[in-house]
Each structure stands twice: as C-alpha cells, then as structure tokens.
Amino acid sequence: MQIGFFDSGIGGITVLHQALKFLPNEDYIFYADTAHVPYGEKPKEQVKQYIFDSVDFIVNEGVKAVVIACNTATSVAVEDLRKKYRLPIIGIEPAVKPAVEITEGRSKRVLVLATRLTLNETKFQNLVHRIDDRDIVDTLPLPGLVEFAEKFEFRKEAVASYLTQQLASFDLKQYGTIVLGCTHFPYFKDSLKEVFPGHIDIIDGGVGTAKNLKRILEERNSVNEGTGQVTYYKSGCKVEDEDTLLKYRRLLRRLTNIES
Ligand code: DGL
C-alpha cells in the first residue's frame, strides 16, 4: 500500500524528499491543496476544513499512513485527525527542542521561522514554554516565502530583499540556530545562509518526521511495499501534465543540491 503525504502546497515535498531517502522502497501519494494555499494567513476553522477534505481524499485513495507534511496543518488539526482515522497520522512540528539543545553553551539565540498560524497556536506556544527555560527563542512569520515557493522562485533578487527587509529589526549576529518551522522554507536554505553573518545552523523537522514514519511502519511490519513511485495530486486532481511533473522532480533535485 502507498503512503500519503499532505501539504497546502509544494512545501511537503521537502519532507517527502527525506522519506524517499529513509524509505526508498515505498510508493507515495503527494497531495498539495494548491486551491487553498497559503494556509498560514487564513482563519483556523477554515484551514481545518480544507485539511479534513484533503485527508479524506488521500485516505479514500488507499494508504497505510498519512504524513501531515505541513507544520500549520499539524498544529491546527493533528489531534482531531488522529481521533477520526484509525491509520497512523504522522505530523511535523518546529524543531525547537533540538535547536535549543545545539545552541546550549554558545550564548547565541534561536530564531523560529514559520507561518503566522503556527506561531499563534497554543500547541507551538506550549512547546516553547516547555523547552525555552533560558528565554533564547524568538519567532518570525515569513508568509512571503510560501508565496515565492509556490511561484517556484527560490534564488531571485526579490527573495533576498524580502529576507533582508523582514529581518531588519533583528540583530542577526546574536543568532546561532534557525528553525525552519514551515515545510516551504528548506528551499531557501541557501538564501538564508547568505543573509546571516558567520556560521548559522539551520534545522527543520523533515528528517525527524521521516524517521518517525519509518519506525511506525516497521513496528507494523509494513515496509518495502513499493518502488519509490510518487503520484502527485493538486486539490483532488491527479497531476498528469509533464511540465508540472518536471517541476516537482526538479524540486527534489534542488533539495539534494542544497544539502550537498
Ligand atoms: N507548508 C506549510 C507549513 O509547514 C504551510 C504554508 C502555508 O500554507 O501557509 O506550515
């Protein structure tokens, strides 16, 4: 059986990229709710409805697990989704804990970049409250990066000026670690590295989520059931046009290149 991946847009491909490394012998459905992206700037109840409609569609396609490859969707709906469905629902959340741990003893701060909706949710605020006992965590919503990503614009001058503008009120040399708390953001790792002075650690929850998925499937003796094939959907429609499929494949390649 296939594994379902869900995001509001192309952000979830950054998590799928990690899953393909840890679980290459699986078949995947990748579902982007592009009719409703961005989620991060919309009211919570509306977003919840979009998520339930999308996950219903994915589950009806026949999957053995669903990965909510979207921090925003996880923060507003993961608990309710787990109540509704019996199959494993794996979420992603901003990697605040590892960020605070690796920044320990370096007298540096942590900056969490995410959507407004994620940052405003109680789930995120409780997470920071539990972990940030030295008060070193700051946050910044960057909705513009979601827009750039959906237009497949990653290295444009406009991206660099947007980042510079959004970060203008921050003393950048104070930061040792950035948390990418939105799955659309790993595409911009190279641009982010250029904006921050000196060495900066950039982490996201993609690897942890992929490992979690693998562990859950292994516990269920449900691994190695495919060939690494990915079927893409956009808000309920199968993506068949070669141009879009090519763009998705290029995204996977871009992610491999940024890492190396
Ligand atoms: N990719 C999503 C996340 O991880 C949300 C982007 C959006 O739709 O605003 O939060």
Q: Is 82 a residue whose pLDDT tops 80?
A: yes
**251 Cα to the center of ligand 1, angstroms:** 16
Show Cβ contacts of residue 91 under 8 Å, excluding neighbours closer than 6 positions.
Answer: 67, 68, 73, 74, 78, 209
- Between the CA of 109 and the centroid of ligand 1 the distance, in Å, is 24
Q: Is 180 in the pocket of ligand 1 (CB under 6 A)?
A: no
Proportion of the chain above pLDDT 90, given as a percent = 96
pLDDT at 214: 98
Q: Ligand 1: which atom is nearest the Cα of residue 146?
A: 6
DSSP 139: E
Does residue 154 carry a pLDDT above 80?
yes
Q: Give 165 Cα–ligand 1 centroid separation in angstroms.
A: 21
Residue 70 a catalytic site member:
yes
Q: Which CATH number does 2-92+206-259 carry?
A: 3.40.50.1860
pLDDT band at 259 (very low <50, low <70, confident <90, very high): confident
pTM for the full model? 0.97
- In this structure, are residues 169 and 193 in contact, taking their beta carbons and an 8 Å threshold? no
Q: Is 205 in the pocket of ligand 1 (CB under 6 A)?
A: no
Q: Cβ(7) to ligand 1 under 6 A?
A: yes
How far apart are alpha carbons 68 and 218 in whole angstroms?
19
Question: What are the helix (H) ranges across the chain?
Answer: 13-22, 44-60, 71-84, 96-103, 116-120, 122-131, 143-150, 157-166, 189-195, 206-219, 242-259
Q: Say yes or no: CB of residue 213 within 6 Å of ligand 1.
A: no
Q: How far is the CA of 41 from the centre of ligand 1 (A)?
A: 9
> How much is the pLDDT for 105?
84
Domain boundaries, the chain: 2-92+206-259, 96-204
Let me know if 237 is a catalytic residue.
no
Mutate which of 119, 183, 204, 251 for ligand 1? The one with the most ligand atoms within 8 Å of its CB, which is: 183
With 80 as the cut, is the pLDDT of residue 260 above it?
A: no
Rounded CA separation 40/116 (Å): 6
Residue nearest to atom 2 of ligand 1 (CA): 70
Percent over 70 (pLDDT), the chain: 100
pLDDT per residue as tens digits for the range 93-151: 999 999 999 998 889 999 999 999 999 999 999 999 999 999 999 999 999 999 999 99
Q: Is the CB of 40 under 6 A from ligand 1?
A: yes
Average pLDDT, the chain: 96
Rg (CA), the chain: 18
Catalytic member of 70, 77, 128, 136 = 70
Q: The domain 96-204: what is its CATH number? A: 3.40.50.1860
